[in-house]
Amino acid sequence: MQQPSVSPRNDGMPLWLAIVAALLLIACLVLEGKRLTIKPGPPQTFDNPVAEFKYGSIGAEWDGFPYMVWRELPAIFKDELPEGWRTFGFIEEPGQELPIGFSIRRVGVPRVGFNCATCHSAEVTAGGNTMLLLGAPAETLDIQSYILFLGYVAASDKLTADAVIESAAQAGRPLGPIDRLLVRTILVPGIKDQADGLATAFSWMKVKPRHGPGRTDAGNNWRARWGYGPEKDEAVGTVDFPSVWNQGIREGGWFHWDGNNNSLIERNYSAALAGGAKEWLLQRGLIDAQAEWLRDLPPPAYPLPVNADMAADGAAIYEREGCGTCHDPGGESFGQVTPLSDLQTDPARSDLFDDAFVSRFGDVGKGYTWRFSHYRATDGYANTPLDAIWARGPYLHNGSVPTLRALLSPPEDRPATFYRGCTDFDPVDVGFACESGFLFDTQLTGNGNGGHLYGTGLPDGEKSALIEYLKSKQYAGRS
Ligand code: HEC
Ligand code: HEC
């Protein structure tokens, strides 16, 4: 005769499972509540620096999304992510578990985090070929939309433990009983608990101009972390992702877009912190290894033919116009700041990073040997090298000018709006030529496309020669 079930569910939980569950629950509560007391698992290792750059850890998984849930989001939220993670412009390679720019590491459970490749690698399509350029500005990545999406996920009714469990099963990776329990009791509830916090932390993003692909506002991110309430003011610090190859030639100069720091180590550490690494757990070995590789990473060669005669004419014009005094290593003002009074580009990013901001930045790393001590406020933007400038459009610190030809035009002739976020390279005007995507509006705060008048008065033929020269602009690499 069949025993009547005492459990209201017909898959009644055996006692051993209940005990395991209770123990797990306690373990996880300790884990979640006091993550400070546990150490992350070892980072994944890779057998070459390219894979390390793409998928290695910089220690940013600490409060990262649990991987078990994260990998089901494209299926659960397929309406919001019609192209999976590519919807936000992440780059995926066949056969890889994660998009480029994500690492995975156990912090209690496996979690995902950003790494240097997130914001510093791009695909570019030129002459019918799509190339992956490591160290390039992540032109298609809309990191703001990704971050807002995670907040949306946390608050959404669509995110349930059942949805995660079912999606995993459908994808052919069914979760075992312990993982199911974790998803039900810890992971999904943990994400939901963060919904209000995420909404508050990123509320400033909803009242300031959208960053769009290829840009981020690290300044306001710091201000939000420090409790400045950036949602209450007009300050904007949105910048284009820079290229990070060939860092060796930038050593000792004043860089970051506004030239606020002359220590390469601090620029690397601040980038890692902005990407999710933690002050009290700064994985210096991992970051230093990435930085060491970037120091000598060669800029990508121009992928299409160059007209050598025209480029030679362009080199002479570049010389005559004095571009190299600011832009070439060894130039008189290389690695220095050109004040806004001369430069006249959009002031917002430089203004945000003022003395008060710098003195607060000085507290970053307090109590640690690496504490930041090289920051300063400036009144302009840095004279940067132009290595592989062909792959670095749209131009200027705020990405407000789509092509080199537009940059050599007087501001009133530069496009007032244009699309960003595609990979299509334009070999004539040099930059990206997007026919759709995110509409960049130069009228919005921080998006101004004025200034940098150098070369704007040249005859058209000379501009074309100068552009031809800039296509393959490189500096003798350090070996
Ligand atoms: C979330 C996106 C993001 C991640 C992740 C990131 N960076 Fe960056 N990085 C930026 C942005 C944005 C800037 C420009 C900041 C500015 O000047 O305002 C920058 C600037 C830099 C610079 C200074 C470049 C220059 O010439 O001025 C270096 C060097 C750098 N990053 C290295 C790294 C390294 C190394 C990592 C990994 C440890 C990393 N970044 C991770 C977004 C990122
Ligand atoms: C007095 C110094 C100075 C001179 C001279 C100068 N530039 Fe610049 N250049 C800058 C600064 C500073 C920036 C960054 C401005 C900003 O982002 O707001 C810049 C930006 C650029 C950029 C865009 C870089 C990027 O990553 O988006 C290009 C391209 C460029 N300059 C080319 C030239 C050319 C070509 C000439 C000569 C015709 C020239 N510059 C002359 C200071 C100078």
Identify whether 392 is part of a domain: yes
Protein residue closest via CA to atom 10 of ligand 1: 241
| Burial status of residue 248 (CB atoms within 10 A of its CB: 0-12, 13-18, 19 or more) | middle
Which amino acid is present at 447?
N
Task: State the residue for tokens 């004279």.
Answer: 383
Tell me what the mean pLDDT of segment 134-150 comes to.
97
pTM score, whole prediction: 0.92
Question: For residue 16, what pLDDT is reported?
Answer: 80
Instruction: Give the distance (Å) from ligand 1 centre to CA of residue 134.
Output: 13
Q: In this predicted structure, what is the pLDDT of residue 335?
A: 97
What average pLDDT does range 147-174 have in this prediction? 97
pLDDT single digits (tens) 263-313: 999 999 999 998 889 888 888 999 999 999 999 999 999 999 999 999 999
User: Helix or strand or coil: residue 129?
Assistant: strand
Q: Which ligand is nearest to the CA of 407?
A: 2
E-only strand ranges, 196-347: 215-216, 239-240, 337-339
Q: Give the atom of ligand 1 at the shortest distance from the alpha carbon of 237.
A: 18
In a domain, 7, yes or no: no
The atom of ligand 1 lying closest to the CA of 353 is 18
Is 6 inside any structural domain?
no
Indicate the DSSP class of residue 185: I
Checking if the pLDDT of 185 tops 90, the result is yes
User: How far apart are alpha carbons 189 and 75 in whole angstroms?
Assistant: 19
Q: How far is the CA of 267 from the centre of ligand 1 (A)?
A: 7
- The Å distance, Cα 352 to ligand 2 centre, comes to 21
The whole domain housing 409 covers 12-479
**Residues 6 or more apart whose Cβ sits within 8 Å of residue 355:** 377
Give 90-133 pLDDT, tens digit per residue. Answer: 999 999 999 999 999 999 899 999 999 999 999 999 999 999 99
Q: What pLDDT does residue 6 have?
A: 43
The pair of three-digit structure tokens given for residue 457, joined into one six-digit string: 């008065």
- Mutational pocket test of ligand 1: of 55, 102, 244, the residue with most ligand atoms within 8 Å of the beta carbon: 244
Could you give the CA distance from residue 359 to residue 149 in angstroms, rounded to a whole number?
33
Question: What is the Cα–Cα distance from 381 to 314, expressed in whole angstroms?
Answer: 25
Task: Report whether residue 392 contacts ligand 2, using a CB cutoff of 6 Å.
Answer: yes
Quote the pLDDT of residue 22.
78
Centroid of ligand 1 to alpha carbon of 124 (angstroms) = 20
Q: Residue 7 has what pLDDT? A: 41
d(CA 229, CA 336): 32
- Which tokens in the block code for residue 25? 């629950």
Distance (angstroms) between ligand 2 centre and the Cα of 28 equals 53
Buried/exposed code over 16-53 (b: 16+ C-beta within 10 A; e: otherwise): eeeeebeebeeebeebeeebeeeebeebeeeeebeebb
Measured by CA distance, the residue closest to atom 7 of ligand 1 is: 271
pLDDT for 362: 85
Q: Determine the pLDDT at residue 471.
A: 98
Least Cα distance to 195 among 148, 239, 234 occurs for 148
Judge if the beta carbon of residue 322 lies within 6 A of ligand 2.
yes
Distance CA 81, CA 102 (A): 18
| Closest ligand to Cα 283 | 1
Residue type at 332 in one-letter notation: E
Q: What residues are in contact with ligand 1 under a 6 Å CB criterion?
A: 58, 114, 116, 118-120, 143, 216, 218, 239, 241-242, 244, 247, 250, 255-257, 267-268, 271-272, 274-275, 287, 290-291, 294
Q: Does the pLDDT at position 479 exceed 60?
A: no
Ligand 2 pocket, 397 CB below 6 A?
yes
* pLDDT tens digits along 410-440: 999 999 999 999 999 999 999 999 999 999 9
- Structural domains in the chain (count): 1
Say which ligand is closest to the CA of 236.
1
Residue 5 lies in a domain: no
pLDDT, residue 477, reads 52
Which ranges in 296-347 belong to alpha helices (H)?
308-320, 323-327, 340-343
314 domain residue, yes or no: yes
* Domain assignment present for 63: yes
C-alpha span between 52 and 115 (Å, rounded): 10
Q: Report the amino acid identity of residue 172.
A: G
Residue 468 to residue 462: CA distance in whole angstroms: 10
pLDDT tens, position by position, 364-390: 899 999 999 999 999 999 999 999 999
Does the pLDDT of residue 80 top 80, yes or no?
yes
Q: Which residues contact 153 (CB under 8 A, 6 or more apart)?
A: 73, 77, 159, 191
- Ligand 2 geometric centre to CA of 385 (Å): 9
Q: Which residues contact 13 (CB under 8 A, 6 or more apart)?
A: 7, 21
Q: How far is the CA of 406 from the centre of ligand 2 (A)?
A: 13
Quick one: what percent of the chain has pLDDT higher than 90? 85
The answer on pLDDT for 461 being more than 70 is: yes
pLDDT of 5 over the 60 cut: no
Q: 10 Å Cβ neighbour count for 298?
A: 13
DSSP code of 82? T
Nearest residue to 405 (alpha-carbon basis) of 426, 419, 423? 426
Pocket residue to mutate for ligand 2, from 321, 346, 454, 466, most atoms within 8 A of Cβ: 454
Task: Summarize pLDDT for 338-357 with one digit per residue, the tens.
Answer: 999 999 999 999 999 999 99
**Mean pLDDT taken over the chain:** 93
H/E stretch holding 449: none
Q: Which residue has the tokens 């008048």?
A: 453
* Spacing, Cα 384 to ligand 2 middle (Å): 7
Does some domain include residue 2?
no
Q: Is the CB of 396 under 6 A from ligand 2?
A: yes
CB 97 within 8 A of CB 103: no
Which residue do the tokens 């860092």 mark?
247
Q: What confidence tens digit (pLDDT) does each residue in 25-54 have? A: 777 666 555 554 567 899 999 999 999 999
